[in-house]
Structure 1
Amino acid sequence: MTEDAQILIARLLAHQTLRRDDKLVKRALSDELFRADLDGRLKACGMKFIDNVYADYVTLALTRDSEAKVFGTRETWQNNNVGLARDGVALLVVLWSLIILPKRERQEAHQLAEEDQNDMFGKEKPLPRAEDTSIGISYRALLADFGDKLGKKTRMDMNLGQLARIGFIERKGDLICEGPLLDLLMDTDTLKDRIINGALSDIFQIPATRTPAVLGMPVADESVAPDTTDSTEDQ
């Protein structure tokens, strides 16, 4: 058990993400003793194992206690926004909203991306994988809808490239698709209400019930930090 936990941690550090159907990952998700060993080793290093039943991958992240010691050495503490400028953070939240929220609705309805009608026995099926329910969005449509707010084409292209390198998205021609980290490092419970009823209420056709939320990075499993002072209005 000890050697397997060590190997799994080393592989996650080397590859950043691993699929949920990986042999050792499946063991970490089902074997309580193995998971306890894994969590103990990671905690000793200021890290933790991140998994999400809606995502096809798992990853590692810093614990809250270790964030300040790791990121606070800079003159300006960017926390763990992975170096993204505020328009990049806003773009990330927009992409999460347009890709992940619809995907999760399809997963919870046990509906595959290509299905046109509901299966009356669908609830008896296992939760569909992300790759079977996630639908990309058009780059041209994204640019038309959000380009003016997110720095126009040059800035958007630069930020999309950075998001792709980090692992949040994948580019497939004109399509922008979910990357391994997009549904792992964002806190749906915190973000969903803020976005649907706030910052993006016009997109989802739902009247805002309070002051629109700032499009900042949420505290997501303590792996992506908030940016509560910035807004995309001045981009």
Structure 2
Amino acid sequence: MTEEVQILIARLLAHQTLRRDDKLVKRALSDEIFRTDLDARLKACGMRFVDNVYADHVTLAFTRDCEPRVFGTRETWQNNNFGLARDGVALLVVLWSLIILPKRARQEAHQAAAEDQTDMFGKEKPMLRAEETSVGISYRALLADFGEKLGKKTRLDMNLGLLARLGFIERKGDQLLEGPLLDLLMDTDTLRDRIINGALSDIFPLPVSRPAAELQSTQDDVAAPSADDAS
């Protein structure tokens, strides 16, 4: 078992992500003794195993107490540890909202993306995989709706290219699809205020005349990405 734990960690370090249906990943998710050994070895190196039931992949991240020591000297640490500019972080939030939130709703309803209606007994079925429920968005629609607020076409294209290289999205023609990291690196409890009041406050400013209760409701509806959930 020790050798298998080492192999799993080495593969995650080499490939960044592995699918949940990978043999060793499945063991980490189902074998308590194997998982305990895995977590202990990772913790000794300041790392942790990242899993999300809505995602088809798993990855590694730094433990919270190690993050500021590793990334705290960088200016972008207040928003992320990928070196993304403020408009890049905001674009990531927009993509997560447009791609992941509808996908999660379909997963919870046990409805595949191609289905026209929900099976009345759907809740008795296992949760569908992301690849069965995730639907991309149109690049042209994204540009039309958010281009002006996200740096126009040149800046938007640059940030989309960066997010694709990092593994957050995949591009197929006009379609922007979920990448292996897009639904793994969200931590709304920790980063919600930091992202909304930081990156998004400049790009999507909220009118000061709106009631405080309405502003709080708006913030609660926006999910912020935990780009600091990856290494």
Give the aligned residue type for 1:180: P
Aligned to 1:35: 35
- The match for 2:226 among 199, 220, 228 is 220
Give the aligned residue type for 2:77: Q
Does structure 1 conserve the Cα–Cα contact (< 8 Å) formed by 2:136 and 2:177? yes
- The unaligned stretches of length 5 or more in structure 1 are 202-207, 225-235
Taking structure 1 as reference, are residues 190 and 153 closer, same or farther at Cα in structure 2, changes over 3 Å only?
same
Does structure 1 conserve the Cα–Cα contact (< 8 Å) formed by 2:93 and 2:225? no
CA drift of 1:124 comes to 1.1
CA drift of 1:223 comes to 1.2
CA drift of 1:190 comes to 6.9
Bigger shift: residues 60-69 or 79-88: 79-88
Q: Write the distance in 2 (CA, Å) between the matches of 1:77 and 1:166.
A: 16
Does structure 2 conserve the Cα–Cα contact (< 8 Å) formed by 1:89 and 1:217? no
Aligned to 1:149: 149
CA drift of 1:130 comes to 0.1
Aligned to 1:209: 214
Does structure 1 conserve the Cα–Cα contact (< 8 Å) formed by 2:106 and 2:112? yes
Does structure 2 conserve the Cα–Cα contact (< 8 Å) formed by 1:106 and 1:112? yes
Q: Write the distance in 2 (CA, Å) between the matches of 1:73 and 1:97.
A: 30
- The unaligned stretches of length 5 or more in structure 2 are 207-212
Q: Write the distance in 2 (CA, Å) between the matches of 1:164 and 1:221.
A: 14
TM-score (norm 2): 0.84
Aligned to 1:170: 170
Identity within the alignment, %: 75
Aligned to 2:113: 113
Aligned to 1:63: 63
Taking structure 1 as reference, are residues 160 and 222 closer, same or farther at Cα in structure 2, changes over 3 Å only?
closer
SS of equivalent residue, structure 1 residue 48? strand
Taking structure 1 as reference, are residues 56 and 43 closer, same or farther at Cα in structure 2, changes over 3 Å only?
same
Taking structure 1 as reference, are residues 219 and 110 closer, same or farther at Cα in structure 2, changes over 3 Å only?
closer
Does structure 1 conserve the Cα–Cα contact (< 8 Å) formed by 2:76 and 2:84? no
What root-mean-square deviation, in Å, do the aligned CA atoms of Structure 1 and Structure 2 show?
Answer: 2.9
Would you identify which runs of 4 or more consecutive aligned residues in structure 1 move more than 6 Å? 189-192, 198-201
CA drift of 1:117 comes to 0.9
Does structure 2 conserve the Cα–Cα contact (< 8 Å) formed by 1:191 and 1:218? yes
Taking structure 1 as reference, are residues 141 and 58 closer, same or farther at Cα in structure 2, changes over 3 Å only?
same
CA drift of 1:121 comes to 1.0
Kindly tell me the number of residue pairs found equivalent between the two proteins.
214
Give the aligned residue type for 1:210: L
Give the aligned residue type for 1:145: D
Does structure 2 conserve the Cα–Cα contact (< 8 Å) formed by 1:57 and 1:181? yes
Does structure 1 conserve the Cα–Cα contact (< 8 Å) formed by 2:188 and 2:225? no
Give the aligned residue type for 1:78: W
Give the aligned residue type for 1:70: V
Give the aligned residue type for 1:169: I
CA drift of 1:188 comes to 5.4
CA drift of 1:217 comes to 8.7
CA drift of 1:200 comes to 11
Report which structure shows greater RCO (CA 8 Å, sep ≥6).
2
CA drift of 1:81 comes to 3.1
Q: Write the distance in 2 (CA, Å) between the matches of 1:43 and 1:57.
A: 20
Q: Write the distance in 1 (CA, Å) between the matches of 2:123 and 2:71.
A: 44
